[in-house]
Amino acid sequence: MAALAPGARLGLAAPSRRAFVARTPIPRARPAACACAAHRVTVLPGDGIGPEITAVALSVLEAAGQAEGETFTFTEALIGGAAYDATGDPYPDATYRACADSDAVLLAAIGGYKWDSLPSASKPETGLLRLRSSLNAFANLRPAKVIPDLADASSLKREVLEGVDLLIVRELVGGIYFGQPRGFGERDGEKVGFSTDIYSESEVERIAHVAFKAARTRSRRLTSVDKANVLEVSQLWREVVTRVGAEYPDVELSHMYVDNAAMQLIRNPRSFDTLVTSNLFGDILSDEAAMLTGSLGMLPSASISNDGPGVFEPVHGSAPDIAGQDKANPLAMVLSAALMCRHGLGIPAVAGRLEAAVAAVLASGVRTGDIAQPGKQTIGCKAMGRALLEALAAPVAA
């Protein structure tokens, strides 16, 4: 069935949904498939604590790779506030080209109070949206798994959290963050702001396929989250997800309104395994799910594409209030590097070493300030990096 032209039901022209993209894709020369080929990674340290956690992640990644006979070439580029300060653009063309010609992109964090007053087009967050859109990284994978050693760091009771292991699949380059028209106008003599939440059938289909395939690797349960009782865009979402679900009879599909899903994530998070939802709802629910683990500083994410490099980044922000003070938690950045190895570079053995090192240092009792617990040793970002390298060197890390 032909997809409805964007804006047709609204009586609008059919604008380009990806208004942030104004670049021609460049051919991507892939490395030869041999053990000696270095994995090409574009590194975006960004703003705030970004450079600190990046330094730790790269040192740990190189050590884990060396143990498995894998090597990396790192190309550093600017994004966010740092890019705006240097070039006047939060996502310069040089950064786009470096990312597009890499095997994967490892991003730390962007933004900060310094740039809050900039026009929308110049804000660091706009640079991040442009990055995702330019690479067509449409599927965001956000795992939220409660580590037993950190269960007491959450504000929820241990008995609610034990055994929580869920994955949120968020559509990342469509919906209200990219929909057109958007902007400001006037109605009845007062200023109004407007944004358009719009999805095509093909956009919903491709994220649904990602979610169903992910569910197959887990417990084969998928919850699609929408607001189909009041939003036409959600009615289309539910219709398409249901249709795609017929191709996956081995996966149990259920639907849930977003307000109920938000409540159940706190009330009974173990009832979920894999969730799929839109850009806006996924943004909110994935941050809520992150706090089940006790700290945003512990969670990685992957934004993947069908035809280019993925973007791998921690879910936390740039924390400008602690930048440069050696207080940052680098573990989510290290775990993001592990996701990159597993989903972006095809070297799961290196990912396993990184994940084992994180588990080992937490089991040893060391913590950064954001996950500090009574009776545990609180250390800084650099010391956590050293602890990870020691864990990698131990036989148990393998």
Task: Report d(CA 124, CA 323) in Å as an integer.
Answer: 17
Structure tokens at 391: 């864990």
Are 127 and 80 in contact, with CB atoms under 8 Å apart? yes
User: What is d(CA 293, CA 211) in angstroms, rounded to the nearest whole number?
Assistant: 22
User: Residue 12 and residue 276: Cα distance in Å, rounded?
Assistant: 29
Phi-psi region of 88 (alpha: psi -120 to 50; beta: other; left: phi over 0): left
Topology of 37-135+308-398 in CATH? Isopropylmalate Dehydrogenase (3.40.718)
Q: What is the pLDDT of residue 295?
A: 66
pLDDT for residue 1: 35
Q: Which long-range contacts (CB under 8 A, 24 or more apart) does 362-370 make?
A: 362/147, 362/149, 362/150, 362/331, 363/149, 364/391, 368/297, 368/327, 368/328, 368/329, 368/330, 368/331, 369/327, 369/329, 370/295, 370/296, 370/297, 370/329
Alpha carbons 300 and 336: distance in angstroms, whole number: 5
CATH architecture group of domain 139-298: 3-Layer(aba) Sandwich (3.40)
- pLDDT the model gives residue 396: 52
Instruction: In the chain, list all ranges with CATH 3.40.718.10.
Output: 37-135+308-398, 139-298
For 46, 96, 180, 328, the CA distances from 43, given in Å and listed in that order, are 9, 12, 31, 18
pLDDT at 37 (0 to 100): 81
Beta-carbon count within 10 A of 69 CB? 11
Per-residue pLDDT of the chain (398 residues; tens, 9 = 90+): 333 333 333 333 333 333 444 343 433 434 433 455 899 999 999 999 999 999 999 999 999 999 999 999 999 999 999 999 999 999 999 999 999 999 999 999 999 999 999 999 999 999 999 999 899 999 999 998 887 777 776 777 777 887 889 999 999 999 999 999 999 999 999 999 999 999 999 999 999 999 999 999 999 999 999 999 999 999 999 999 999 999 999 999 999 999 999 999 989 999 999 999 999 999 999 988 887 876 667 889 999 998 889 999 998 899 999 999 999 999 999 999 999 999 899 999 999 999 999 999 999 999 999 888 888 999 999 999 999 999 999 875 44
**CA 285 to CA 236: how far, in whole Å?**
20
**What does the pLDDT read at residue 8?**
35
**What are the distances in angstroms from CA 286 to CA 296, 304, 305?**
10, 16, 19
Name the residues annotated as catalytic.
177, 227, 259, 283, 287
Chain-centroid distance of CA 137 in Å reads 10
The rounded distance, in Å, linking the Cα atoms of 45 and 54 is 6
Per-residue model confidence (pLDDT) at position 12: 31
The confidence score (pLDDT) of residue 229 equals 98
Which residues lie below 8 Å from residue 85, measured CB to CB, with a gap of 6+? none
Query: Phi and psi at residue 178, in whole multiples of 5°?
Result: -120, -10
| Cβ 107 vs Cβ 313: under 8 Å | yes
* The two structure tokens encoding residue 394: 């131990």
- CB distance 392 to 63 below 8 Å: yes
Q: Which of 362, 363, 299 is nearest to 336 (CA)?
A: 299
Q: What b/e sequence results for 131-147 when a residue is b if at least 16 CB atoms lie within 10 Å of its CB, and e otherwise?
A: bbbbbbbbbbbbbbebb
